[in-house]
Amino acid sequence: MKHVPIFDDLKRIGDDRVTAIGMGTWGIGGYESPDYSRDKESVEVLMHGLELGINLIDTAEFYGAGHSEELVGEAIKDFEREEIFIISKVWPTHFGYESAKKAARASTKRLGTYIDLYLLHWPVEDFRRIEETLHALEELVDEGLIRYIGVSNFDLELLKRSQEAMKKYEIVANEVKYSLKDRWPETSGLLDYMKKEKMALIAYTPLEKGTLARNECLAEIGKAYGKTAAQVALNYLIWEENVVAIPKAGSKAHLEENFGAMGWRLSKEDREKARRCV
């Protein structure tokens, strides 16, 4: 079996250490339905990321109607499983005690392995359904299908309420949209609260679909570090002690660029300048 190289820019999720930059898989294997046209390339890209030393992969049952999970399972099969951290998510239509358990089992079957972190993908208005789902996930931890429980797209109030609903385990992460352009976790108090709670904030769409990678102001800041605009934008996020970013692993070239956002940090002054670039 292949080993994932140990890279020293690590963050904590639960008791595990993960790379500060992970691999997002939204659109890999399709969007709302499966797309098999780029399967070989997608698997090769994910494997390349693991070979570089990125040990975190984010997927969901909703991505490609489960096909994204199948591709992740294919990509990891020749690597030491314990060296990889896999995130997946249950879609709101599968919230509820029995439905969530069934969805998790289906996801583990597609992945061919257990799930390290299982998230409630989006909040719903009826909190009782959220509560039932969280309690189902606690049982899934006991069963060994998942290792940690988290949420996604939860604001501060709902996150606190969800924490209070837990009976046995803690919520260890919240995955939200966060970028230099969209800094609502900072302005809402969510980021500070999660720091205090030692909870990982997983930032999706960190490059705003490539727009930040083309920002000339960020590129100018990056020159002093020998880095690109995209690497500056990602480094801005992982500068925070509890933030992990998951840009899409779209190609080997982009993956290598994302990897180069780790292992260094912007100065406080340049980080402040980066805020003013958008």
- In whole angstroms, give the CA distance from residue 186 to residue 27: 27
**How many residues are present in the chain?**
278
Domain assignment of residue 38, given as a range: 10-207+240-250
User: What is the count of structural domains for the chain?
Assistant: 1
Q: Can 63 be counted among the known catalytic residues?
A: yes
pLDDT of 249 reads 86
pLDDT at 144: 98
Of the residues 63, 118, 204, 236, only one is catalytic, namely 63
Residue recorded with tokens 């975190």: 56
**271 within a domain of the structure (yes/no):** no
Residue 148 lies in a domain: yes
CB atoms within 10 A of CB 144: 9
| In a domain? residue 234 | no
Residue 64 half-sphere exposure toward CB, CA atoms < 13 A: 24
270 is a domain residue: no
Residue 80 lies in a domain: yes
CATH of the domain at 66: 3.20.20.100
Is 213 a domain residue?
Answer: no
Q: Within its chain, how far is the Cα of 49 from the centroid?
A: 14
Task: State the average pLDDT for the chain.
Answer: 97
Extract the residue ranges of the chain whose pLDDT is less than 70: none
Domain contains 218: no
3-state DSSP helix/strand/coil % of the chain, to nearest 5: 45, 20, 35
149-152 own/partner pairs: CB under 8 Å, 24+ apart: 149/117, 149/118, 149/119, 150/87, 150/117, 150/118, 150/119, 150/120, 150/174, 150/175, 150/200, 150/202, 151/119, 151/120, 151/123, 151/175, 152/89, 152/119, 152/120, 152/121, 152/122, 152/176, 152/202
pLDDT in tens, 105-146: 999 999 999 999 999 999 999 999 999 999 999 999 999 999
Query: Would you tell me how many other CB atoms lie within 10 Å of the CB of residue 232?
Result: 29
In a domain, 175, yes or no: yes
